[in-house]
């Protein structure tokens, strides 16, 4: 399929992948805490006939250097752009912190028709890195809406120590779990109210995720949706980690900093299992995943 790439510089750095023959659906592609423009994943979706827009949502000109009080309006501007390009159905596909952003955007923006949340959280977390003021402490919310920070869970920075020793990659799941216990009184206020979203939601999570407990979070999100009879789909593998890989992507690059869990094979198997449900959710008229 012929795909035309459009490089954008405003209102954010982005690439728009436009297939020669589209299917009327546009999708915003959000990477995680790397902050990169996820060009490869956008192209993969464009090859399926989707108008795919991958944006840099922090770390660019005029943006906070870290994931700190990032306006949700950043992602609504991406919805605007896709609709201006003729998208009749709009989805957001996000991974990790990008999944957090995708779910929250759907809560506040009813024009979002579908969300694919990969290795998600069910909670709003604190900042990762500095804000526009160059400071990363005290902890602040990762997100704002109409200029107001969303309630969040801070990290417990005083008590946690990694299990690993030496210079190898570190699993930080335990830090998130400790922070939930430390700040238990804040959990209800920081919960992502996905039951309010009008979008169809598909969750993809591995049980061996060692960044944060994304499978437990996905199950919590699904439970909130089912409690109000809202559509939700959940695709999981107990042995997969934080970085599911879709057909055509290849294994994720190894990290010297973080341990993500899973294996190249289990992560690929989860991505393969999720691929058809993802396309079914994003493509009009295709069969969706069976609810769990």
**What does the pLDDT look like over 189-206, one tens digit per residue?**
999 999 999 999 999 999
Euclidean distance between CA atoms 43 and 180, whole angstroms = 37
| Percent of the chain clearing pLDDT 70 (strictly above) | 96
Written as six digits, the tokens of 193 are 């109210």
Distances (CA, A) of 146 to 24, 74, 105: 30, 11, 12
Which band of pLDDT confidence, cut at 50, 70 and 90, is reported for residue 285?
A: low
Contact 51, 26 (CB under 8 A): yes
User: Which one, of 252, 244, 248, lies nearest residue 268 by Cα?
Assistant: 244
> Which CATH number characterizes residue 47's domain?
3.40.50.1820
Domain-located, residue 62 = yes
Is residue 177 predicted with pLDDT exceeding 60?
A: yes
As to burial, measured by CB atoms within 10 angstroms (0-12 exposed, 13-18 middle, 19+ buried), residue 82 is: buried
User: Could you read off the pLDDT of 248-281 as tens digits, one per residue?
Assistant: 999 998 898 899 999 999 999 999 999 999 999 9
Domain-located, residue 217 = yes
Total tally of structural domains belonging to the chain:
1
Domain-located, residue 245 = yes
Give the domain extent around 277: 3-282
Euclidean distance between CA atoms 35 and 58, whole angstroms = 6
Contact 233, 286 (CB under 8 A): no
Cis preceding-peptide flag for 155 (omega within 30 of 0): no
Domain-located, residue 288 = no
Domain-located, residue 289 = no
Is residue 289 predicted with pLDDT exceeding 50?
A: no
- Write the Ramachandran bin of 108: left for phi over 0, alpha for psi from -120 to 50, otherwise beta: alpha
Residue 163: the pLDDT is: 73
For 177, other C-beta atoms within 10 Å of its C-beta total 15
Contact 203, 226 (CB under 8 A): no
User: Could you read off the pLDDT of 73-116 as tens digits, one per residue?
Assistant: 999 999 999 999 999 999 999 999 999 999 999 999 999 999 99
Cis preceding-peptide flag for 87 (omega within 30 of 0): no
Is residue 26 predicted with pLDDT exceeding 60?
A: yes
Which band of pLDDT confidence, cut at 50, 70 and 90, is reported for residue 164?
A: low
Q: 210 CB contacts (<8 Å, ≥6 apart)? A: 171, 172, 173, 241, 242, 259, 260, 261
Domain-located, residue 189 = yes
Contact 117, 103 (CB under 8 A): yes
Q: What's the count of helices (H) and strands (E) in the chain, helices before strands?
A: 7, 11
User: Which one, of 140, 152, 157, lies nearest residue 104 by Cα?
Assistant: 152
Strand 14-19 with 3-8, pairing = antiparallel
Domain-located, residue 291 = no
SS3 86: coil
Residue 207: the pLDDT is: 98
Question: What are the contacts of 135-142 at 24+ separation with CB within 8 A?
Answer: 136/66, 136/68, 140/68, 140/69, 141/69, 142/67, 142/68, 142/69, 142/70, 142/97, 142/100
């Amino acid at each position: 399929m012929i795909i035309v790439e459009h490089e954008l510089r405003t209102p954010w750095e982005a690439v728009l992948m436009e297939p020669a023959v589209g299917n009327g659906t546009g999708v915003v592609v959000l990477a995680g805490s790397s902050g990169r423009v996820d060009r490869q994943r956008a192209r993969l979706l464009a090859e399926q006939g989707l108008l795919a827009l991958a944006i840099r949502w922090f770390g660019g000109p005029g943006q906070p250097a870290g994931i700190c009080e990032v306006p949700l309006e950043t992602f609504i501007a991406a919805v605007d752009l896709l609709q201006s390009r003729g998208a009749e159905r709009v989805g957001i596909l996000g991974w990790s912190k990008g999944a957090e952003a995708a779910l929250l955007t759907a809560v506040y923006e009813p024009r979002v028709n579908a969300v694919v949340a990969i290795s998600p959280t069910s909670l709003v977390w604190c900042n990762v890195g500095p804000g526009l003021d160059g400071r990363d402490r005290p902890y602040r919310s990762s997100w704002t809406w109409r200029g107001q920070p969303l309630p969040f869970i801070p990290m417990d920075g005083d008590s946690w120590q990694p299990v690993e020793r030496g210079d190898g990659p570190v699993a930080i799941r335990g830090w998130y779990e400790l922070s939930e216990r430390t700040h238990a009184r804040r959990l209800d206020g920081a919960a992502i109210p996905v039951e309010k979203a009008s979008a169809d939601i598909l969750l993809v999570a591995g049980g061996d995720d060692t960044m944060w407990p994304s499978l437990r979070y996905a199950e919590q999100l699904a439970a909130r949706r089912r409690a109000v009879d809202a559509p939700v789909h959940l695709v999981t593998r107990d042995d997969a980690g934080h970085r599911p890989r879709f057909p055509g992507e290849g294994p994720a690059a190894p990290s010297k900093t973080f341990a993500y869990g899973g294996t190249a094979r289990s992560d690929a198997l989860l991505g393969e299992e999720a691929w058809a449900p993802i396309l079914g959710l994003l493509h009009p008229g295709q069969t969706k995943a069976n609810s769990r």
